Structure formats: structure tokens, C-alpha cells
Structure 1
Amino acid sequence: MAIKKERIFYYDLLRAFAIIAVIICHVDFYFGNITTPIGIIAKMTFHDIGRIGVPIFLMISGALLLNRDYPSLGDFIKRRFTRIVTPFIFWIILITLTNIHFHKSYAYMWNVFIGNPSIMWYFWTLIGIYLAIPIINIFIKEYGEKGVKYFLAIWFITIILNTFSMYPLFPYFKLDWFAGFIGYPVLGYYLSTKKFNFSDSKMWKIGLLILIVSLAVFVFADKTYGFASLTLMYQNIMIVFMGIGMYLFIEYLDKENKFNSIKNNAIGKAISSISLCSYGMYFSHVIVIMFMSKINPHSNVLFPAMFALTIFLSWLLPYVFSKIPYVKKVSGV
């Protein structure tokens, strides 16, 4: 009889946070008119918190997939690609039908499919990362922590240059293998396996401090200089530090057993369910938001209710599909 693997709660909590963060980035239009400086900063902070979502997803992937023994390259490709491609096909059909319902043009629907403008870019990015994972996995198994530090050092340099739109600094000095999303999985693996010379209690506080400071700097730069528009998406050093801070904060809170009181109650079960449904939610929230936009009151008072309802319905769709025979395999759950 197969032994069911015990779930690691902080991965579930991070994954649940990540999908909610992704949705945060797409619900700004629910707000009413905001004109006060404090209101503008609050709205911007809310949106910028959402930028942590994709990095967290990729960091979890690295923590779970790197430094592993796989039966074969074909087995890895088959397992991982089946897991992400079939739900993509299922959901892109539903999203296309929804776009047809709202009389979107064929050109618009094609752009949605290829990821512009839409959240589908993440799927194509994930394809590229999964193609590279077996190569990086062998590298890490061969060189261990030193290899990880080597990779991350070069990646951090490219991220810093990207942040200030300076990469490539010299036209023929190419670091394209490092200059992109691929560093996030390696970073996630590093943070999950590194033994720091601090107690668990100090580590989650360090993580929280990194998160707060980097978020504050990012919001300030975004408001003052339009910092977010100066860099490629998610290739910004402040977003990297925001991801590091959140990851360490949740990881070490869990290691210090701070979540023991909720793991087995309704809250813990809700977190686990959102985590399991997160990939399906990544697609379903596009459909939910399209329909919700038609009843949007543009009210700051009603914003929390609209936001909560969007999260609930985005979870409900893949959850219900996961209970239907045959459909479960393509639901993303």
C-alpha cells in the first residue's frame, strides 16, 4: 500500500498566500475613487504586496524539485508537464469561451493565449523553468551549497542590473542563463535547506524585518520614481527581498511551531485546500474577475467583500471540478 506523504504546512501556507497575492494584483479596479495621499499609498502598498506571489510559487517549486533523484529525464518531463499542461488546456478553453461571451476580438483572445495581456505568461515561463530544472538539479547535486551560492551570486548581479535597466551592461557580455526567473527556484531551494546560525525565533523576525523594509522601499520608489516600470516584471531586487522575507517569515514560524494551533482546525484545512487548488485558482480567477467586473460597485467600503468573494469563487470553481470524475485530472487540483 502506498504511503501518503505528510504535507509540510509552511509550503501550503506560502502557496495559499501566493495565489491570494496574485489575485491582489488583479483587483485594483474594485476600489472606488482614491485621491488622498494616504489612500494612494495604501492602495499601492496593497498592490505591491501582490507582487510577492509569483516569486513565492517559483521558490516553492525549487524547494520541492531540486537536489532530487529522478528515475529518468523522460519521467520528470512527463510528470511535470502533464501536471501543468492539461489544466492549462482545460482552463484556456473556459477562458476563451468566457471571452467569446463578452465579445472579445480574436486578436485579443490570441494575446491572452500567449500571455499578453493576461496571466498566461506564467504558464509559458513555467514551461521554460521545467525544461531547465533537470539541468540545474544535476548541477546542484554535483556542487552542493557552493554551486548554489555561485549560481545565486551571478543571478543577484543580473537582478540588480535589471532593476536599474542596465542589463546587459555591455552588449556582448551575456548572462541570459541567469538573468530571469530561473533564480527563484534556486533561491527557494537554498532557503529551505540552508542552516543559518540563528535560532528559529530570530530567523522569522529577520524574515519579517526584510519583508517590511523591502516592501516599504519598493512602495516608496514605485510612488516617487515609478520604480516598478523601470524593470522587467519580477526582476527587481526589492521584489526578490520581499520574497526572501516572506519565505523566511513563514518557514521559521512553522519551524517554531507557531501554526500548531491552526493546522488541524478549519483555518488550517482552508489553507491546505487553497494550496491544493492554487494552480486551478491561478486560471479560474481570470473568469471570476471578468464576471465580477460587471457588478463592480467601485466602492472602497465594499472592496473587502468584493475581494473576499473573488477569492472564494476562484477557489470554488477548481474545487468543484476536482470532485467531478474525469474532470478532476484537468482541474489543476
Structure 2
Amino acid sequence: MKTKKERIFYYDVLRAFAIIAVIICHVDHFFGPLTTQTQIIAQMTFHDIGRIGVPIFLMISGALLLNREYPNLSDFLKRRFTRIIYPFIFWIILILAQLYYHGYNNTFMWNVFNGNSSITWYFWTLIGIYLFIPVINSFVKEYKLKGVEYFLAIWFITMILKTFNSYPLWTSFDLNLFADYIGYPLLGYWLANKEFNLSDKKICILGLITLLISLSVFVFCHYNKINLISNIYQNIPIIFMGTGLFIFVMYLDKLNKFNSVKDNFIGKAIISLSVCSYGMYFSHVIVVKALSYHNPGSNILFPLMFVLIVFLSWLMPYIFSKIPYVKKVCGV
């Protein structure tokens, strides 16, 4: 496993949380029967926490990739695409082989490959974002935070409209460049570089409050079937959830709250989850599918099943990273 000597620990914390959150979204069927209102709300809250994963991944990408010097465009694209395409090919072969073994038809497997109702949609979204990063990077370098705030202001307006299923207002008023996932990388860059006129402690608390309130709104809409969140990752509650978590973790680090764990087992586990996160994004599909045939369907056993799924999803890419040649394509 290759790790850089100098790491930004709060990015590792966020990335580790994000991959666990992604897994959270795909383990609902391991719950037992939900027989009380409390159980239903608890399950929805657990699931909706998982929705923070994808925005956090994209926000980290923006914080790390924007306002950088990329003198050679072809080298940038080659380096970024190599890191995401080779692991995709490796894991999709394993995923499709598992589905073939269990008798799934070609149409279903093709849909899994192209991201139609499968987790691979994120890979294709990431391809589009990486193609656009050099363009938006030049914009950020030219106009700095003011330019980012301009972009985010328009993006936020389109997200409000999407939240209330009102986008577009008029078919000819095209704001699609501002109305997609590209806003998350810019938001991550802005949060990582913006200087706020509050103490670090106050901003940290504000981030936590923002996270809790927006999560409560998201769960409330989900529970009451309020159709404000039909665009799962493109709505106002999820934006504030991601923003709140990003700020909370970043300022915990600035307040040195992670110093006690950075060099012990917990810190090493966080870094390992972070480093293995892209491989885990794919490996957990195999793990969840395999364990679904041994589902106890018990609310009592669910925590154990969830921990087992996370562990095995980490273990697969970790082991592959120790194998010569395979380590280059396993997403670690």
C-alpha cells in the first residue's frame, strides 16, 4: 500500500467516513423487520447519514485538485484517469463474474456496467468531472475565491430549484453547467480555503449544528415522503449535510482534536480506510452480494453484519494491494 509521507489527516478522516457512508446506503436489507415507528426512523436516519458519502468524496477532490499548476494537460488526464479507470476495469470484471455465477442475465449485467441503477454511476460521473477539472482549475486560478463564490451562487440557486422539482424554470434558460455534480468540488475547495471571521471553535460547533439540522430535515422529508429530495445528491439538505460535516471535521483538526489518535491504531485504521476507499467502493458490492445469501434478517445482529461488511470490503483491496502487479489496479 502506497501512502504519502505528508498527509492531511482531516481529509483521511473525511474519506474514511465517506466510504463507510457509501456502504451504509447499500445494507438496508440486512435490517430485520421494522415493526415500530422508532425502528423505522432509526433505519431511515442510518440510511440518510450514508447519503453524505458521495458529496464528501467530490468535495475532497475539489479541495485537492483545484488551484493547482498543471503544465501538461495530457499528463494530468493520464494520471487521473489511470487511477480511476484501471481499478474500475479490475473490479467490474470481478463484480460481473459474481453476477454471472449467480445467474443474472446479460441485460442486468450491462446495466451494472453502465451505471444504470448500480453503484458504477459514480465512476462515470467522476470521468465527466475529471474531464472538466482542467477547465474549472484555470477559472479558479484566474478568479480565486471570488470566482468560486460566483459559480457557487448560481449552483446553489439551481440546487434550490432542483430541491423543489422546479428546474429548469424554462427549457431555454439553460444552466446545466451549474446544475450538476461539479458544484461539490468547487464547494470543497471553497470551504478548505475560505477564512471565516469566527473562532475555530465557533466554526466547528456551527458545522456540527448545520450537519444535525440538515440531517433532521432530510430524514423528516424521507419519513413523511415529502417529494423535496427526489434528486438524492442534488438538493439543499444534502449540500448542508456535506458542508456541515466537512467544516466540523476540518476544524476539529485545526483545534488539534485528532492529535491523540493520529499515531495510534485508530489513526492508522483511518488512514488505511482512506487509502483503500476507492477499492472499497467496488469491493463492498461483492461483499454485500455474497453476504446477502446469509442474511440473518435481525436488528440485533445488524451492527455485527455491518462491521463485518466494512471489514471485508477493506480487506479485499488491502490484500490485493500486497500482490505484485495487481496492486496497481486494485484502487489502493
TM range (shorter): over 0.9
1:58 has 2:61 as partner: no
- The equivalent residue for 2:270 is 271
TM superposition shift of 1:227 = 3.5
Aligned length: 330
**1:39-83 Cα shifts (integer Å, max 9, x gaps):** 111110000000000000000000000000012111110010000
- The equivalent residue for 1:138 is 138
Residue ranges of structure 1 left out of the alignment (5+ in a row): none
Aligned amino acid, residue 275 of structure 1: S
Distance in 2, matches of 1:4 and 1:172, equals: 47
**1:75-103 Cα shifts (integer Å, max 9, x gaps):** 11001000000000000000011101111
TM superposition shift of 1:35 = 2.1
- The equivalent residue for 1:224 is 224
- The equivalent residue for 1:77 is 77
- The equivalent residue for 1:329 is 328
Over 3 Å counting, the alpha-carbon distance change for 1:4 and 1:308 in structure 2 is: closer
- The equivalent residue for 2:281 is 282
Residue ranges of structure 2 left out of the alignment (5+ in a row): none
Aligned amino acid, residue 42 of structure 1: A
Distance in 2, matches of 1:41 and 1:23, equals: 19
- The equivalent residue for 1:212 is 212
Contact 1:218–1:227, Cα closer than 8 Å, also in 2: no
Q: How does 1:130-209 map to 2 (within 5 A)?
A: 130-209=130-209
Distance in 2, matches of 1:98 and 1:291, equals: 9
Percent identity of paired positions between Structure 1 and Structure 2? 67
Aligned amino acid, residue 59 of structure 1: M
Q: What SS does the corresponding residue of 1:287 show, helix, strand or coil?
A: helix
Distance in 2, matches of 1:212 and 1:291, equals: 34
Aligned amino acid, residue 31 of structure 2: F
TM superposition shift of 1:4 = 5.1
Q: What SS does the corresponding residue of 2:90 show, helix, strand or coil?
A: helix
Contact 1:21–1:53, Cα closer than 8 Å, also in 2: yes
Distance in 2, matches of 1:41 and 1:297, equals: 21
Distance in 1, matches of 2:112 and 2:221, equals: 30
C-alpha RMSD of the superposition: 1.1
Q: What SS does the corresponding residue of 2:68 show, helix, strand or coil?
A: coil
Q: What SS does the corresponding residue of 2:296 show, helix, strand or coil?
A: coil
- TM-score, scaled to structure 1: 0.98
Over 3 Å counting, the alpha-carbon distance change for 1:4 and 1:107 in structure 2 is: closer
- The equivalent residue for 1:88 is 88
Where does structure 1 differ by over 4 angstroms across 4 or more consecutive aligned residues?
none
- The equivalent residue for 1:233 is 232
Contact 1:161–1:167, Cα closer than 8 Å, also in 2: yes
Distance in 1, matches of 2:72 and 2:226, equals: 46
TM superposition shift of 1:38 = 1.1
TM superposition shift of 1:225 = 2.9
- The equivalent residue for 1:125 is 125
Distance in 1, matches of 2:259 and 2:147, equals: 35
Distance in 1, matches of 2:39 and 2:103, equals: 35
- The equivalent residue for 1:41 is 41
- The equivalent residue for 1:16 is 16
